[in-house]
Structure 1
């Protein structure tokens, strides 16, 4: 079997993925606005999962969560492998920007330490 068609298909698929998750150029034949909306949707999905996995990071971001997560995602060539890694990376990204959980707030798991 000729491998050239598979190679070309893989290359085209890679361009689509890059446009969706890494800010790459929208491939020819795709609607740029639809690709932009889909890319935004993927970032929103990541943000919601990250907020569930790391409520401390979501609390630290506060009302700026959407904007901060979008900035974090835009700085990455591709998302980390796995939501847990994404959540931990976002929390570290916030810490580097001196965004920590609000004073007086408790870590979600701290209630488990009480007797």
Structure 2
């Protein structure tokens, strides 16, 4: 591989990284991209995540109530990138709500040995 080709690949990787950061972490869009379109796409990606998270954790969606869109948007902005998987995203959102007093702590499971006690 030539030095010129390696440099071009490096520039492309950096540009792709900036684009992903703009889409998922609220960073400034890279040069040459329409900021309004990037914002619209980023908003669409957050809405898709919110929809999946609400299906996976209906308890979290219920706890957020009417504020689900705003709460999830704030949660998404608080992270530098989405977690690796929707289940983790859903559990992290529930924990985020719990930290803010919007969701009760999960019920404690009884210990296996407690049923043996009189």
- Report the TM-score, using the length of structure 2 for normalisation: 0.83
CA drift of 1:5 comes to 1.3
Alignment of 1:80-91 (within 5 A): 80-91=83-94
Shift of 1:26: 1.0
Per-residue CA distance 1:53-107 (angstroms, 9 max, x = gap): 0000000000100000000000001110100000000000000011126xxxxxx
Paired residue for 1:69, among 67, 72, 75?
Answer: 72
Q: After alignment, is 89-98 or 4-13 more displaced?
A: 4-13
Where does residue 100 of structure 2 map in the other structure?
A: 97
1:43 aligns with 2:46: yes
Aligned residue pairs total: 101
Larger CA Rg, structure 1 vs 2: 2
CA distance in 1, matches of 2:73, 2:8: 36
- Root mean square deviation, CA, Å: 0.9
- Structure with more contact order per residue of length (Cα contacts < 8 Å, sep ≥ 6): 1
Unaligned runs of 5+ in 2: 105-118
Q: For residue 9 of structure 2, what is the aligned residue in structure 1?
A: 6
